[in-house]
Structure 1
Amino acid sequence: MNENTFKKRKLQTTVFFIAIIAVSFFSASMTDFNLIDGILTIPSAFIWMGENLIITADTLSKLPNIMEKLIETIFMSIAATTTAAILSFFLGVAGSKTTAVNGVLSAFARLIASFARNIPVVAWALILLLSFGQNSMTGFLALFVGTVGFLTRAFIESIDEAGISAFEALTATGATYFQIVAKAVIPQCLPQMISWILFMIETNIRSATLVGILTGTGIGYAFDLYYKMLDYQAVALVTLLIVVAVIMIELLSNHVRKVIL
């Protein structure tokens, strides 16, 4: 690297950091955010949590009801993810440059993935809430649509990155399109696809909590109910169970990834 190139990159880096700092200060002034006041409130916030977010024996009596809502949320997340994965697989095959049947279908599959992925799950929940009301179907569909967008994009990239030697070999032998997909694409991409599906199950369990607040279902509904009743001890128990559930599922999915990858 010559001296002029080094100076140019150094100048670009300096300008970038100055721009970031300027944007940060501008954003803080627009939102009336004060960093010093925020830091000073941290001790009092921890004191409040220590006084109110205490799980008592009376709170534990609500554990069966909370566990029922948590299990409902986990099952809904798994169902939405696995169902979306099936549709995403076909869209991924159609959208990949390696396995695309034609350019129009490929562009259509990529458009669906982009449209579904770029709208947050919470926004999908609000949109679907107007049509389906507050029920489990609304939460399921919100997670389903968001998952289709993410997994379709992930599957397209997985298929594009797979080696094409097996694909070309089967094409040369006169294999049909579906035989090529079954024998060349799926065996190579299946471990990565399973890994993405497990990742989305973890993500959807987190998202389902917030979606449940909007749709009145699952663990999100329990959290919102106890919060509005100012029952902070029950809120603490709900939060703890959510954290434990997410950690356990993450550990399980990480173990599965190590086995398949």
Structure 2
Amino acid sequence: MNEKHMKTSRKGQTILFILLIIGMTIASSAITGFNIVHGIATLPEALGWIFSNLFITQESLERLPTILDKLIETILMSVAATTTGTVVAFFLGLMGSKSTGTNKAIGVFARFVASVSRNIPVVAWALILLLSFGQNSVTGYLALFVGSVGFLTRAFIESIDETSQSAVEALRATGATYFQIVFKAVLPQCLPQMISWILFMIETNIRNATLVGILTGTGIGYTFDLYYKTLNYNAVALVTFSIVLAVILIELISNHIRKVIL
């Protein structure tokens, strides 16, 4: 009887949840003035425009060296922002973790820094930093760096908190120092997860760097924006294809590394 009642209750909750989602969708459409039916109806026309304008030609291929140069610049900037952000996030993660934190106030500060930098979008950081540093690669790098620190700090804190405490307690019992405990007991356990998060952050930053580049006037994002504003849609298609191909390639490499280390 109880099992039947539980199934009925879950079914009712599921139906209520679905109705709530539908209601929120309708309300959001009404508030924003978005017509879902009109949007779906214009989809074939939009796809037709894409296939008739965004295609690669021989003329656009002549711009490939320039595009690849900017794409490599974007990838290197993303990797640099991620790796330097990793160093800062690692120490913030140690301070913010309940397992390795030495002071409650410092732990709260580390979590606060991670929360602020993570919850403000990278694009918003780019706009904020744009006022101080102007349109250059430093602005793009710093925007990606701040976003990386926030995300990785949160990920590292969770990874450290999930480690087994038996090795930590054993080293403490022998009188080991703080950093001996960290590098002998904590880090070996959570290192594979940390590397996985770092690889994921690199992939994410390469995607974000394209949009950030439009704002900061650097990298592949600026190249995309330049061709788009000059209505050179064939070059836009080549830039888009290059970005997609680069992201897929890096994702495949990351997945291979994850299989090796995990």
Same fold (TM over 0.5): yes
TM-score where L is the length of structure 2 = 0.97
Q: Partner residue of 2:60? A: 59
**Separation in 2, partners of 1:50, 1:212:** 26
Structure 1 residue aligned with 2:49: 48
Q: Which of 29-38 and 125-134 deviates more?
A: 29-38
1:175 match: secondary structure? coil
Instruction: Give the gaps of 5 or more residues in structure 2.
Output: none
Query: Which secondary structure does the structure 1 equivalent of 2:11 belong to?
Result: helix
Report the Cα offset of residue 35 of structure 1. 2.2
Q: CA deviation at 1:175?
A: 0.4
Deviations 1:90-115 (A, max 9, x none): 00011100001011111111111111
| SS of aligned partner of 2:180 | helix
SS in structure 2 of the partner of residue 134 of structure 1: coil
Look up the match of 1:160: 161
AA matched with 1:36? V
1:217 aligned partner = 218
- Map of 1:238 onto structure 2: 239
Q: In the aligned structure 2, how far is the partner of 1:210 from the partner of 1:50?
A: 23
> Secondary structure of 1:101's match?
coil
- 2-side partners of 1:199 and 1:14: how far apart? 35
Question: Counterpart in 1 of 2:258?
Answer: 257
Superposed CA deviations along residues 76-95 of structure 1, whole A, max 9, x for unmatched, are 00000000000100000111
Identity of aligned residues (%): 67
How far apart are 1:34 and its partner, in Å? Answer: 1.9
Partner of 1:75: 76
The amino acid that maps onto 2:236 is V
- Give the Cα separation in 2 of the matches to 1:16 and 1:47: 36
* Residue identity in the other structure for 1:168: E
Give the match for residue 24 of structure 2: 23
User: How large is the Cα RMSD of the aligned pairs?
Assistant: 1.1
Distance in 2, matches of 1:75 and 1:15, equals: 48
Match of 1:126 in 2: 127
Q: Confirm or deny that 1:196 pairs with 2:197.
A: yes
Q: Give, in whole Å, the separation in 2 of the partners of 1:26 and 1:189.
A: 44
Question: 2:30 and 2:56 mapped to 1: Cα distance?
Answer: 39
**What's 1:85 paired with?**
86
1: distance between equivalents of 2:19 and 2:45?
34
The 3-state SS of whatever aligns with 1:45 is helix
Aligned to 1:97: 98
Paired residues for 1:130-209 under 5 Å: 130-209=131-210
1:241 is displaced (CA, Å) by: 0.1
- Write the distance in 1 (CA, Å) between the matches of 2:71 and 2:85: 21
TM-score, normalised to structure 1, is 0.97
- Partner amino acid, structure 2, of 1:138: T
Unpaired stretches in structure 1, ≥5 consecutive residues: none
The amino acid of 2:143's aligned partner reads A
Amino acid at match of 2:92: L
Q: CA deviation at 1:128?
A: 0.5
Question: Structure 1 CA distance, aligned partners of 2:253 and 2:97?
Answer: 30
Shift of 1:165: 0.9
Q: Match for 1:111: what amino acid?
A: F
